[in-house]
Amino acid sequence: MPAARPARIPGQRDGADDVVAAGTTVDHLTETYRAHYRSLLGLAALLLDDTASCEDVVQEAFIRVHSARKRVRDPEKTLAYLRQTVVNLSRSALRRRILGLKLLSKPMPDMASAEEGAYDQLERDSLIKAMKGLQRRQREVLVLRYFADMTEAQVAETLGISLGSVKAYGSRGIAALRLAMEASA
Domains of the chain are 22-102 (1.10.1740), 134-184 (1.10.10.10)
Pick the residue with more confidence: 10 or 115? 115
Nearest to 64 by CA among 29, 28, 12: 29
pLDDT one-digit tens code per residue, 40-96:
999 999 888 888 999 999 999 999 988 887 887 787 888 888 999 999 999 999 898
Report in angstroms the alpha-carbon separations of 85 from 63, 91, 162, 179.
10, 10, 81, 77
CA distance 25 to 48: 30
Percent of the chain with pLDDT over 70: 83
